[in-house]
Amino acid sequence: MRRLAAMLLMLAVFGLTACGGGEVPEHRDTPPPPKPAATRKGSSLACGATRVRFPAMPKGLVRAGSFTRLGSLTRRHEVRGVIWEESLERVYLGVVCGVRTAEQFATLVAGSRLTAYKGGPALRWTTRTGLRNFMWLERPGTAIYIGTTPGLATLIKQFAAGVEQTPEH
């Protein structure tokens, strides 16, 4: 591969010098390249000093509100979340504050399946209304929650992979 690149470089240099490539090219007014489309920002939520950034939503999903409660939790915790929707499909992104240990987290949702994500405990469950839910303990005090209606359930992994925790100050 390196030989091919070296040969192409030699040919390009030889071709430029043979065709008067050593001269300064004339200046032409060319329009600037078009600006890239505006990037869609994701949501940012916090539990105390821990700030979590969620990825940008796919095109078509628009912000449709917020929530401060998850009905599936067995104990009351501070919850902060945002809702995105397209037609009848919805995505819920949130943080659950105050869960300190893996043991507390494992019993947070009755009827959930305990799994692992990023080396820590995670829960999966489906509500009676069909909402698919996934939550993991990001760090002591902060659990990250993602819920979707059935039509968007395949995006849960993508959303989870795009979550970033900002450094504490």
Q: Is residue 147 part of a domain?
A: yes
The confidence score (pLDDT) of residue 5 equals: 37
Q: Is residue 86 part of a domain?
A: yes
What is the domain extent for residue 57?
Answer: 44-166
The confidence score (pLDDT) of residue 29 equals: 52
Q: Is residue 9 part of a domain?
A: no
Compute the CA torsion angle 146, 148, 154, 155 (nearest 10 deg): -50
Q: Is 138 helix (H, G, I), strand (E, B) or coil?
A: strand
The confidence score (pLDDT) of residue 35 equals: 38
Residue 89, φ and ψ in degrees, nearest 5: -95, 145
Q: Is residue 82 part of a domain?
A: yes
Q: Is residue 15 part of a domain?
A: no
Q: In the chain, how many domains are there?
A: 1
Q: Is residue 149 part of a domain?
A: yes
Q: The domain spanning residue 144 has which CATH number?
A: 3.30.200
Report the percentage of the chain scoring pLDDT > 90. Answer: 70
Whether pTM > 0.85 for this model: the answer is: no
The confidence score (pLDDT) of residue 139 equals: 92
Dihedral sign for Cα 147, 152, 155, 159, please. Answer: negative
